[in-house]
């Protein structure tokens, strides 16, 4: 069974940084694209960033470009999201998702973790 | 960016009834690259439909998807108690992936 376990969330001040991790198991991590999707409290889903299986291609939403960086370590079966210059509007539950690739940069999310809460507040 | 508009915002129905949810795109979604997800309170989303009409293994056949271009529909043929939830559509026809705002299916 696919298992995705996020960690690293917490309370951070505006302008601060945080790194989220997602430990993956139950599938061949090194060949699978992965993504981060977030959900602000009481709101809908918002795609954040995706990375190809090789790690050679990354894609990000305009709302986080230049501030968030997605990466992966296939030796550790772990996905990361480095978040810098955090804003109040980044407050959300951040989900790690395993992707199915329809084409380059075009993914849907076939498995999800339970999420980790990031709160940006003074 | 492709904007997805879901309607209605809330659907009030009884168990056993049929639910019809709509997802309209601001421009054509290439290759019918549209997915549907179900989210119950406090839980992560679950994939229901991909490619507009394909069901992953394990998804009951009371869930069906249809549509192409800019208009897509998720139908739940007979609502079970566990189907009362929020449903989201997502397009992956462009590399700027987007979700609709969601439709809540509640018990009438």
pLDDT in tens, A16-63: 999 999 999 999 999 999 999 999 999 999 999 999 999 999 999 999
Task: List CB contacts of B107: < 8 A, sequence separation 6 or more.
Answer: B12, B13, B14, B15, B84
- Both tokens of B37, joined, read 């997800």
Q: Please judge whether B100 and A44 are an interchain contact, meaning their C-beta atoms are less than 8 angstroms apart.
A: yes
User: How close A74 gets to chain B, by Cα (Å)?
Assistant: 23
Cβ contacts (< 8 Å) between A108 and chain B: which residues? 33, 35, 47, 50, 90, 92
| Å between B103 CA and nearest CA of chain A | 10
Residue A100: name the closest of B92, B70, B89 by CA: B92
First to last CA, chain B: 35
CA A105 remoteness from chain centre: 15
State how far the alpha carbon of B74 is from the alpha carbons of A48, B45, B53, B54, in Å.
Answer: 25, 16, 9, 11
For residue B42, give the 3-state DSSP assignment. Answer: coil
Q: What is the pLDDT of residues A68-83, one digit of tens each?
A: 999 999 999 999 999 9
Instruction: Tell me how close the Cα of B14 comes to any Cα of chain A, in angstroms.
Output: 24
pLDDT over 90 (residue A103): no
B62 touches chain A (CB under 8 A): no
Strand-pair category, B19-25 with A45-51:
unpaired
Helix, strand, coil shares, percent, chain B, to 5? 5, 50, 45
pLDDT band at residue B46 using 50, 70 and 90 as cut-offs: very high
Q: What chain B residue is nearest to A43 in terms of C-alpha separation?
A: B101
Instruction: Scan for tokens 């978040």, then name that residue.
Output: A83
- Over residues A84-101, the pLDDT tens digits come to 999 999 999 999 999 988
Inform me whether the pLDDT recorded for B95 exceeds 90.
no
Asked if the C-beta of A59 comes within 8 angstroms of chain B's C-beta atoms, the answer is yes
């Amino acid at each position: 069974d696919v298992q995705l376990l996020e960690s690293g969330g917490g309370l951070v001040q505006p302008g601060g940084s945080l790194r989220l991790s997602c430990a993956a198991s139950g599938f061949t991590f090194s060949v699978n694209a992965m993504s981060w999707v977030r959900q602000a409290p009481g709101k809908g889903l918002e795609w954040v960033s995706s990375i190809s299986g090789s790690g050679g291609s990354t894609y990000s939403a305009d709302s986080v470009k230049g501030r968030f960086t997605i990466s992966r370590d296939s030796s550790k079966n772990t996905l990361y999201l480095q978040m810098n210059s955090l804003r109040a509007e980044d407050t959300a539950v951040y989900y790690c998702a395993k992707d199915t690739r329809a084409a380059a940069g075009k993914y849907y999310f076939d498995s999800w973790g339970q999420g980790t809460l990031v709160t940006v507040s003074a | 960016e492709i904007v997805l508009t879901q309607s209605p915002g809330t659907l009030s129905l009884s168990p056993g009834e049929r639910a019809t949810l709509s997802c309209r795109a601001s421009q054509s979604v290439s290759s019918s690259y549209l997915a549907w997800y179900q989210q119950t309170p406090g839980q992560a989303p679950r994939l229901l439909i991909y490619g507009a009409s394909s069901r992953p293994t394990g998804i009951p056949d009371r869930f069906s998807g249809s549509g192409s271009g800019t208009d897509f529909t998720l139908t739940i043929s007979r609502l079970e108690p566990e189907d009362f939830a929020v449903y989201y559509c997502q397009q992956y026809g462009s590399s700027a992936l987007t979700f609709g705002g969601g439709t809540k299916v509640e018990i009438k």
